[in-house]
Chain A
Amino acid sequence: MAGISTAWADQAKSDVLSAGQCMLPTVTPTGNLTNTAFTAVGMSSVSGVAVGMAASGTGIPAGAVVASLDSASQITLSKAATATNTGVTITLTGDAYKFALIKHTPTGTYGQASQYYSDITGNSDEVSGTGYTATGFALTNGAIAVGSHVAYTQPTTNPSWTSATIDTDGGMMYDTSVRLWPGNRCVATFDFGGEQKVTAGTLTIVLPTNNSSSALLRLS
């Protein structure tokens, strides 16, 4: 039966256990790079750093990721530095997530069994209209916290569209970074509780209070 339910996708739970998702927010420690070397030494911090995070900075080639965490002050990158510099700001980012909108009265069913963003497009169920760009809104990862034995997180920005003419019943948060194949893997789907329609205006998805009992994504 077509429709949308609010649910953390079963595949996403499996992906978390498979290290197939990285929701860590961006961190910017400093480190020392040497031309042709893969290691960044003298790191100011490796807190919040995980293998696979995208790395960028002066002398770091495009496409480099964290290959290993070697100590509290050293990481190894997947690509060798192209310059020697000290105190380089190294930007390390987690996966890039998006929030796509599902059109009013979709033909597909979205919920725990949802697997990919392509579930939406395969049914031609993505919203289309002025102010909406296919694939959805780019999210910014928030901090991951633990409270009352629950790990929780949510993006820091409410997804929203302005000067938009949109008719939607729900949405999907999905991971555009590829750690498992195929990519664009669904994290969760959201039922908006009824048709949400706007004409030449603003539609905002207000994320819940960010705590252990109501945050967008919670693991107990």
Chain B
Amino acid sequence: MAGIVRVLTTDGGTHPPEKYAMATAELLTPMGIGAEAGRPDNNGPAALMLRAKIAQALIPHHHKVKHTEIGRLRDKGHDHLASDIDPREHSGDALKAVLDCSKGTPWEAQHASADVQQAMQGEINRMFHSAMREEREHHARKNAGHPKCDAFVEAWHPGSTKQAGV
């Protein structure tokens, strides 16, 4: 089977932290939650409230991811494009914030599982990685023509330098 994707669009720039926080919360709230007998309902009011709470809690973390990346691009310039995109400096604190949200809810016990936490960390890492990569690409496209910028875009969009006639 093929999974369902969702699409984020933002005109005029990269996604705001609020939009990313909501998308991340949607990925996390099924984690460990199942509508099996005796387990909390994945789609009921309590689940939706937890999702909203997690989204709110993630906003400052997505804000930090975005603006740390913007700051590094400002300070290090095009050289920053070659460094690893590693979200782990941000994601540990974000996971703690998510787990705080589920305290006192029907999902607290499930979220205490190491396996569930590892899976949630993986999703947070992916979304933070996305945000970081997009800030770099946005920078690279604004500075198209510089070899380091063109190389970054080419790595993710093969053929872009040829298409641009570089």
- Chain A partners chain B: yes
Q: Which residues of A contact B (CB under 8 A)?
A: 6-8, 98, 131-138, 154, 156-158, 160-163, 171, 188-190, 192-193, 196-211, 213-218, 220
Most buried by B among A158, A205, A216: A158
- Residues in chain B near residue A211, CB distance under 8 A: 30-31, 119
- Residues in chain B near residue A207, CB distance under 8 A: 3, 5, 126
Contact B30 A209 (CB under 8 A): yes
A201 CB contact (under 8 Å) in B1, B2, B10: B10
- Residues in chain A near residue B142, CB distance under 8 A: 163
In the assembled complex, the Cα of A196 lies from the Cα of B23 at a distance in Å of 16
Q: Which residues of B contact A (CB under 8 A)?
A: 1-15, 23, 27-28, 30-31, 119, 122-123, 126-127, 129-130, 133-134, 137-138, 141-142, 155-160, 163
Chain B residue nearest to A219 (CB atoms) is B1
B3 CB contact (under 8 Å) in A160, A197, A208: A208
With A202-B10, A203-B9, A208-B27 known as contacts, the answer to whether A218 contacts B159 (CB < 8 A) is no
Q: List 8 A-B contacts (CB under 8 A).
A: A201-B9, A201-B11, A203-B9, A204-B134, A205-B7, A209-B28, A214-B30, A220-B1
Number of A-B residue pairs with CB-CB distance less than 8 Å in the complex they form: 138
Q: Which 6 A-B pairs have the closest CB atoms?
A: A208-B3, A163-B141, A133-B157, A201-B11, A188-B2, A216-B3
Contact B5 A205 (CB under 8 A): yes
Chain B residue nearest to A9 (CB atoms) is B2
In the assembled complex, the Cα of A133 lies from the Cα of B154 at a distance in Å of 9
Contact A135 B158 (CB under 8 A): yes
**Which secondary structure dominates chain A's binding surface?**
strand
- Residues in chain B near residue A163, CB distance under 8 A: 137-138, 141-142
Contact A206 B30 (CB under 8 A): no
In the assembled complex, the Cα of A202 lies from the Cα of B27 at a distance in Å of 20
Contact B14 A209 (CB under 8 A): no
Contact B138 A210 (CB under 8 A): no
A203 CB contact (under 8 Å) in B8, B28, B123, B141: B8
